[in-house]
């Protein structure tokens, strides 16, 4: 296939950056990053240097996402960067306070290093990208002269970026960017609609926890869990820090609602991969977490923490709250692993969403959903024409039985992962979709009515529904 680069790979994201109809693959690394061009014949070509996105060999690449931030029809690329790390100069385990955990010498945590600087590449439309990090405001999210208090020190610039996701959080039709930061306030870059961004995480209420503490952010999930038409954010964090849930109460302003929503029951796990998805097709977005500690030094010790950890599945009960249903969701959920990235999609095309998990020091796990298709559903594949071909940034609203749901085609997200670009909506007992509304990044809007449930619809911008595909339900 030509995916030949070997190294310390980190995140991946997918998007058709040259609009040739074949989705391309970007992979971040410790060191230079890689952009694989999809040749359309099952093979890829490394075009990183030619395209101008390889970056510096001294950077620790982290989360990534394609987005069309200037809405010119060409996918741009955002890459978060973790820390400035030189293996030859790295502190030894136990050498400082940042290199001990529960009084056990461990590899140094992020605060033992300077934070990394995030990157934004603008797609020129000719197969190459320009680094616009400085002029767009992405490189200096808090301003050139500003400082941020991190642990016991004031830090300028670097943000310790980890998972990243792009979505329209204020419903203005322009993509914003959220970055989970490790041991520093997380970032929300609001799109100014003029080629620049303004970092508003603190003022918007999605940078800290409910006590005003900067947690160790890992993964990012974006979805409208309460059905109010605004995209919310879930962020996984380090061990003994619960998952934070930022409820979007309008115009991109957030409140931390994790305790109220029932996510405070699991604090001992170290979360990485995360996603909103409707596992039972009841029309409400549920929440899944992939967990696993980072310090092998705690394995076998009599601590209140475990090295290998089970996954967590929260069921959305439809009133703004979740219940932990991990114990009754099968051995695959309860299995203890070193979970890292996870991605969501209906891999077997039976109408319910499955999960693939990347595990450290072990093979990946593929969790097939065997019960979700008892309810009805619909899946939408969007294909851009004036907008980018992958339709990233497209907002879809589905209305069935007088209840509406929204979702958005997104690149990246979770923890260093890429979900299915097809949008899946559970419909409960509704046998049809009363209304399907699509808002494309180009500004084009389309609406379709009275659509039968339990099918995949392919919708091409300005051309309408070009394919109906029925799936066969898997027998439980």
Predicted local distance difference test score (pLDDT) of residue 154: 46
CA distance 458 to 57: 41
What is the chain's mean pLDDT, rounded? 94
CA distance 473 to 391: 27
Predicted confidence (pLDDT) at residue 143 exceeds the cutoff of 90: no
CA distance 93 to 304: 21
For residue 3, tell me if it sits in a domain: no
Number of neighbours of residue 447 by Cβ within 10 angstroms: 11
For residue 328, tell me if it sits in a domain: yes
Predicted confidence (pLDDT) at residue 373 exceeds the cutoff of 80: no
Straight-line distance from the first to the last Cα atom of the chain, in angstroms, rounded to the nearest whole number: 35
- pTM of the shown model: 0.95
Model confidence band, residue 49 (pLDDT cutoffs 50, 70, 90) = very high
Strands (E), 88-242: 100-101, 104-105, 119-123, 129-131, 148-150, 153-155, 161-167, 176-181, 187-191, 197-199, 217-223, 232-237
Predicted confidence (pLDDT) at residue 365 exceeds the cutoff of 50: yes
Number of neighbours of residue 275 by Cβ within 10 angstroms: 26
For residue 4, tell me if it sits in a domain: no
Q: Give 64-75 as a DSSP string.
A: EEEE-TT-SSS-
Look up tokens 């932990």; give the residue: 324
Predicted confidence (pLDDT) at residue 150 exceeds the cutoff of 50: no
For residue 93, tell me if it sits in a domain: yes
pLDDT in tens, 198-213: 999 999 999 999 999 9
pLDDT in tens, 331-359: 999 999 999 999 999 999 999 999 999 99
Predicted confidence (pLDDT) at residue 473 exceeds the cutoff of 70: no
Predicted local distance difference test score (pLDDT) of residue 275: 99
Predicted local distance difference test score (pLDDT) of residue 145: 45
Choose between 86 and 133: higher pLDDT. 133
pLDDT in tens, 405-439: 999 999 999 999 999 999 999 999 999 999 999 99
Owning domain of residue 62: 9-470
What's the structural domain count of the chain? 1
pLDDT in tens, 252-309: 999 999 999 999 877 889 999 999 999 999 999 999 999 999 999 999 887 888 999 9
Predicted confidence (pLDDT) at residue 151 exceeds the cutoff of 50: no
pLDDT in tens, 72-114: 999 999 999 998 888 888 889 998 888 999 899 999 888 878 8
For residue 461, tell me if it sits in a domain: yes
Predicted local distance difference test score (pLDDT) of residue 441: 99
**How much is the average pLDDT of 118-140?**
96
For residue 475, tell me if it sits in a domain: no
Residue 194, domain CATH: 2.130.10
For residue 1, tell me if it sits in a domain: no
**How much is the average pLDDT of 164-180?**
99
Predicted local distance difference test score (pLDDT) of residue 474: 58
For residue 2, tell me if it sits in a domain: no
Predicted local distance difference test score (pLDDT) of residue 374: 87
Predicted local distance difference test score (pLDDT) of residue 86: 85
């Amino acid at each position: 296939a030509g995916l030949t680069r070997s190294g310390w790979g980190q995140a991946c994201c997918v998007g058709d950056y040259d609009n040739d109809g074949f989705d391309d693959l970007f992979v971040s690394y410790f060191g230079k990053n890689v952009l694989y061009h999809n040749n359309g014949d099952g093979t890829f070509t490394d075009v990183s240097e030619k395209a101008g996105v390889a970056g510096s060999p001294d950077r620790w690449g982290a989360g990534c996402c394609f987005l069309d931030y200037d809405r010119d029809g060409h996918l741009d690329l955002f890459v978060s960067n973790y820390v400035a790390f030189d293996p030859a100069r790295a502190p030894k385990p136990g050498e400082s306070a940042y290199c001990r955990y529960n009084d056990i010498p461990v590899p140094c945590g992020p605060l033992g290093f300077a934070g990394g600087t995030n990157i934004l590449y603008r797609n020129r439309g000719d197969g190459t990208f320009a680094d616009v990090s400085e002029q767009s405001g992405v490189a200096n999210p808090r301003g050139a002269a500003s400082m941020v208090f991190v642990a016991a020190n004031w830090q300028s610039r670097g943000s310790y970026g980890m998972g990243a996701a792009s979505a329209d959080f204020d419903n203005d039709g322009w993509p914003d960017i959220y970055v989970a930061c490790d041991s520093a306030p997380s970032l929300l870059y609001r799109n100014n609609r003029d080629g620049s961004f303004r970092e508003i995480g603190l003022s918007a209420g999605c940078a800290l926890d409910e006590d005003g503490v900067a947690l160790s952010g890992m993964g990012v999930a974006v979805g409208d869990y309460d059905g109010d038409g605004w995209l919310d954010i879930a962020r996984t964090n380090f061990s003994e820090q619960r998952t934070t849930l930022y409820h979007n109460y309008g115009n991109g302003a957030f409140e931390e609602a994790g305790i109220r929503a029932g996510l405070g029951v699991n604090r001992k796990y170290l979360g990485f991969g995360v996603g909103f998805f409707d596992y039972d097709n009841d029309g409400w977005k549920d929440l899944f977490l992939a967990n696993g500690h980072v310090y092998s030094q705690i394995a076998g010790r009599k601590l209140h923490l475990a090295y290998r950890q089970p996954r967590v599945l929260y069921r959305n009960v439809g009133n703004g709250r979740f219940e932990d249903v991990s114990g009754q969701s099968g051995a695959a959920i309860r299995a203890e692993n070193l979970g890292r990235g996870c991605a969501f999609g209906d891999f077997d095309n039976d109408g319910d969403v499955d999960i693939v998990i990347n595990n450290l020091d072990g093979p990946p796990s593929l969790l097939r959903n065997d019960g979700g298709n008892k309810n009805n559903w619909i899946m939408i594949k969007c294909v851009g024409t004036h907008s980018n071909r992958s339709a990233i940034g497209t907002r879809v609203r589905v209305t069935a039985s007088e209840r509406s749901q929204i979702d958005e085609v997104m690149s990246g997200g979770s923890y260093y992962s890429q979900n299915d670009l097809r949008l899946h909506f559970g419909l409960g007992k509704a046998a049809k979709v009363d209304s399907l509304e699509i808002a494309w990044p180009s500004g084009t809007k389309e609406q379709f009515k009275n659509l039968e449930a339990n099918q995949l619809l392919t919708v091409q911008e300005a051309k309408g529904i070009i394919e109906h595909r029925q799936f066969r339900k898997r027998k439980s």
